[in-house]
Structure 1
Amino acid sequence: MKKIVAIITPYKKNGKINWLGLTFLINFHIYNKTDKILMLGTTGESHVFNIRDFVNLILFIKKFYFKFLFSINQNNLKIIYYKYYLLKTNNINLVLLSLPYYVLPNKISIYNYFKKLKKFGIKTIFYNIPKRTGIYISFLLYNKLINKKYVFYIKNSFNNVKNSLILKNKKLFLLSGEDTNLYFCKKILYSGTISVYNNVFPKMFNNINNKFIYFVKQFNYDINPVLIKNLIKKIFSIKINFVLLFGIEKFFFTQSQI
């Protein structure tokens, strides 16, 4: 399976982005052969980033010769369009997109939403997460979006057998959206995974994932980025102690990333 990491954005104590720490994390994933890096893809990041930080992040990743994509999770359509424009003008051609929460759950409004975004010429990974948006997409609407090439990929967090088999039959790039269902997704032959968990052990991700999640469940932890942010903070604080001569300082993660 293709491995896309939802990379965690490191911060300083004053709430500013820790660019040196981010450089360290990106190089860590490049070294460990992660396939792509998703920016602003962990819980609480995309929708709280102001435009200045968003632009700075786009400009910052240009120095890395690697494949990046961005997550957009907004309710303001003007901001969504503006971000698409910024990404397109900076040669970012892949976006992970969820539905604005206020969009009425009818076929016409959702269809028009994707139709307008198609004009930017950026391929969209549709983040299908009904438990968050409250919107369940019908297969009739899926057919229209796929046939019109408004959607090329689906990050699917609605992993039941019927849903997955029908979408797989459409010859889409179907990506796992829930790490707890990775074993199921392998059996259904998903194309890959977008995961916050492979922030920790990207080389061994596929091998350790199921055991790691079993361990997490035993201690009744929530399956969300808070656990991973705390764990990776411990791991990298140990590693950083050995590379202080290179100027890497301690960095921080938060759930809301504010």
Structure 2
Amino acid sequence: MITGSLVALVTPMLDDGALDWKRLHDLVEFHIKEGTDGIVAVGTTGESATLNVNEHCDVIRSVVKQVNGRVPVIAGTGANSTHEALQLTKNAKELGADACLLVTPYYNKPTQEGLYLHYKTIADAVDIPQILYNVPGRTAVDMLPETVARLAGHKNIAGIKEATGILERGTQIRELCGEDFAIYSGDDGTGMELMLQGANGVISVTNNIAPRLMHEMCVAAIAGDRATAEQINSKLDILHQKLFVEANPIPVKWALAEMGHMGHGIRLPLTRLSEEFEPVLRDALAQAALI
């Protein structure tokens, strides 16, 4: 089971939107040096929605090669087309990913039965650990704990990234799915508390800019050390808040550029952080001692 602080890695881009391979390699090395426990490539934060299929696979290939087995690599392979998600998951396995993260199909608003059959179809076809991803704030569909429980017994479905921010969801899923089913927080603001309640880690946006602190907080929270986890998380809390002043990954990409890790490249329809939020985010970075 993959545990700890998993970064929802951004995809660095040049000013014209082309992929910035050097900065991608540099970011991977930065995370490994700073203790990140696993890397999620081409998830929501990695702008999966604006990469074409070839670019999607190229980023996974590049990250897997650069990591070279030092930490687990989880490939984002979700789509609102079951056929497309299935193909991306097959590709990720062939490229050497350790696991896949599959967001619930967005926009077309499937029923709970449709969600079950979507994930079962992919899990039946591809022998790789698969992590469900529930984020109704983006997808307009909420996968209920009972549906998760129907899928949890499948040998290829290893866990869930639960991003509702509702702590009770973690408790419900744990009760229904058992201790062998991995639960990852997908909400930085409530991630510490979910881990203290028994979750196995967090797939984090904040980890992009504060990987060492996120790793140390996760170690403490998973061990049940509330005092240490809260002490560390108090330094991170302002980042958990301010990295979402605009749609993710707009703020975190701006923050990484401000820290000198990459340029300001981002793809339409996303745009660079609005000027009104620059002082807010710059102050948050300063308070967290990152600049």
Task: Sort the TM-score into its range (normalised by shorter chain).
Answer: 0.7 to 0.9
Tell me, yes or no, if structure 1 residue 232 matches structure 2 residue 241: no
Q: 1:21, 1:225 → 2: CA distance?
A: 16
Structure 1 position 219, deviation (Å): 11
Q: What is the CA deviation profile of residues 155-197 of structure 1, one whole-angstrom value per residue up to 9, with x for unaligned ones?
A: 1112434322121232221111101112321331211010011
Q: What is the CA deviation profile of residues 94-131 of structure 1, one whole-angstrom value per residue up to 9, with x for unaligned ones?
A: 11111112455423322211111012112111111122
Residue number in structure 1 paired with 2:56 = 54
Which of 132, 135, 158 aligns to 1:126? It is 132
Letter in 2 for 1:235: M
Residue number in structure 1 paired with 2:227 = none
User: What secondary structure does 1:84 align onto?
Assistant: helix
Deviates more, 1:105-114 or 1:3-12: 105-114
Q: 2:247, 2:234 → 1: CA distance?
A: 13
Residue number in structure 2 paired with 1:247 = none
Q: How many residues matched?
A: 246
Structure 1 position 63, deviation (Å): 4.0
Which of 158, 162, 165 aligns to 1:156? It is 162
Q: Is the 8 A contact 1:183 1:210 kept in 2?
A: no
Structure 1: segments with no counterpart, 5+ residues: 238-249
Q: 1:218, 1:53 → 2: CA distance?
A: 29
User: What secondary structure does 1:91 align onto?
Assistant: coil
Q: Identity of counterpart residues, as a percentage?
A: 24
Residue number in structure 1 paired with 2:40 = 38
User: Residues 165-204 of structure 1 correspond to what in structure 2 (within 5 A)?
Assistant: 165-169=171-175, 170-171=178-179, 172-204=181-213
Q: Check 1:157–1:231 CA distance in 2 against 1; reply closer, same or farther (3 A cut).
A: same
Structure 1 position 220, deviation (Å): 8.9
Structure 1 position 255, deviation (Å): 6.5
Q: 2:61, 2:195 → 1: CA distance?
A: 35
Structure 1 position 141, deviation (Å): 2.2
Letter in 2 for 1:10: P
Q: TM-score, normalised on structure 1?
A: 0.83
Q: 2:160, 2:36 → 1: CA distance?
A: 19
Tell me, yes or no, if structure 1 residue 83 matches structure 2 residue 94: no
Letter in 1 for 2:116: Y
Q: Check 1:136–1:64 CA distance in 2 against 1; reply closer, same or farther (3 A cut).
A: closer
Q: TM-score, normalised on structure 2?
A: 0.75
Q: What is the CA deviation profile of residues 212-240 of structure 1, one whole-angstrom value per residue up to 9, with x for unaligned ones?
A: 33467589934733222211111126xxx
Residue number in structure 2 paired with 1:4 = 6
Structure 1 position 26, deviation (Å): 0.6
CA RMSD of superposed structures (Å): 2.7
Structure 1 position 74, deviation (Å): 2.1
Q: What is the CA deviation profile of residues 118-149 of structure 1, one whole-angstrom value per residue up to 9, with x for unaligned ones?
A: 12112111111122223233333222111234
Structure 1 position 42, deviation (Å): 3.8
Letter in 2 for 1:23: H
Q: Check 1:138–1:218 CA distance in 2 against 1; reply closer, same or farther (3 A cut).
A: closer
Residue number in structure 2 paired with 1:64 = 67
User: What secondary structure does 1:184 align onto?
Assistant: helix
Bigger relative CO (Cα 8 Å, ≥ 6 apart) = 1
Q: 1:190, 1:103 → 2: CA distance?
A: 30
Residue number in structure 1 paired with 2:288 = none
Q: Is the 8 A contact 1:180 1:210 kept in 2?
A: no
Q: What is the CA deviation profile of residues 7-31 of structure 1, one whole-angstrom value per residue up to 9, with x for unaligned ones?
A: 1111112221111111111111111
Structure 2: segments with no counterpart, 5+ residues: 218-230, 272-291
